[in-house]
Amino acid sequence: MSEIRFDNKVAIVTGAGAGLGKSYALEFGRRGAKVVVNDLGAAVDGSGSSHNAADLVVDEIKKAGGQAVSNYDSVSTAEGGEKIVNTALDAFGSADILVNNAGIVRDHSFLKLTEDEWDLVISVHLKGAYNVTKPALASMREKNYGRVVFTSSGVGLYGNFGQANYAAAKMGLIGLMNTLVIESIKHNIKLNAIAPNAASRMTEKVLPPPLFEKLKPEHIAPMVMWLASEQNQDTGMIFNCMGGWYSRTAIMCASGIIIGDGSSTVTAEDIQKNWGVIKSLEGARPLTSIGESFGYVAPLLSKQ
């Protein structure tokens, strides 16, 4: 088994001044990557800014013998995204790896959630990933090489009370990834997503103390290193990671049933009658494009 190294690779980690992103940046540095440590230096709710967060991580990487530069732009504007990627290109001449990690929360149950809270959370997580990934992918395509890791969440994949804005953004990232995977197949660019759980300032008030003690950002970093590595050839997958537990999760399509022959009328009562088989997950498997879903109605084409 070969050692996972990032010599001659440039890694951009957004929101790398604290929490999970910091542990990725430090590990990339230890493994030879040139690291762009992006961080706005915001509070958990997205307010405020400071250069300290990014600078301290850069200092730590350099003290350990690694190479890194700071960037303080917000991921939430297209201009910020361009500047983050340009920091990598100007300092190190490349942008081979992007970890979309920057994040904030503004939690309220849906009816109490304001439009501003909705917009702000979407702008950092979902639009933020668009803003940084677009210039990064342009550069990766030129080199015919790239690795992108999106940070989704079990909140989006499975749901959680009081986090509708965050859940929508985190699930939106999966849709973004799915399409970019298809558009990147010919360019040797692998894109995957993680759904992590780990102790950070974001989770210190929500994780029960015994779990907060156990679930370390250092449990998430190995998965990010693997997905960002040249050795990883998988793309378009989502992985749960917490406290040393790693598992694939997926949007699946079940076998279902074809009612009628495509030209006959299907009624609501037909749906009712077949509800058991329609809602069953029997035969479920992940699909790699919407095109593949049309295969399920292929039998209709032979019936004229």
Contact residues for ligand NAI, defined by CB under 6 A:
14-15, 17-21, 38-42, 44, 46, 53, 74-76, 101-104, 124, 128, 151, 153, 196-198, 200-203
30/220 Cα distance (integer angstroms): 16
Query: Residue 151 carries which side chain, given as an amino acid letter?
Result: T
CB of 196 to ligand NAI, least distance (A): 5
Render 50-104 in DSSP notation, one character per residue: -SHHHHHHHHHHHHTT-EEEEE---TTSHHHHHHHHHHHHHHHS---EEEE----
Query: Which CB atom, from 32 or from 53, has the smaller least distance to ligand NAI?
Result: 53
Read off the amino acid at residue 284. Answer: A
Least distance to ligand NAI from the beta carbon of 129, Å? 9
DSSP 8-state code for residue 304:
-
| Torsion on CA atoms 244, 100, 149, 161, rounded to nearest 10 | 50
**Residue pair 48/136 in contact by the 8 Å Cβ criterion:** no
**Residue 222 or 256: which CB sits closer to ligand NAI?**
222
With CB atoms as reference, the residue minimizing the distance to ligand NAI is: 19
Active site residues: 166
C-beta of residue 219 within 8 angstroms of C-beta of residue 243: yes
Report the nearest approach of ligand NAI to the CB of residue 52 (Å): 10
Q: How big is the CA angle at 88 (ends 82 and 94), to the nearest 5 degrees? A: 110
Q: Are 140 and 89 in contact (CB under 8 A)?
A: no
Report whether 92 contacts 189 (CB < 8 A).
Answer: no
Q: How far is the CB of 288 from ligand NAI (least distance, A)?
A: 25
Distance of closest approach, residue 242 Cβ to ligand NAI, in angstroms: 7
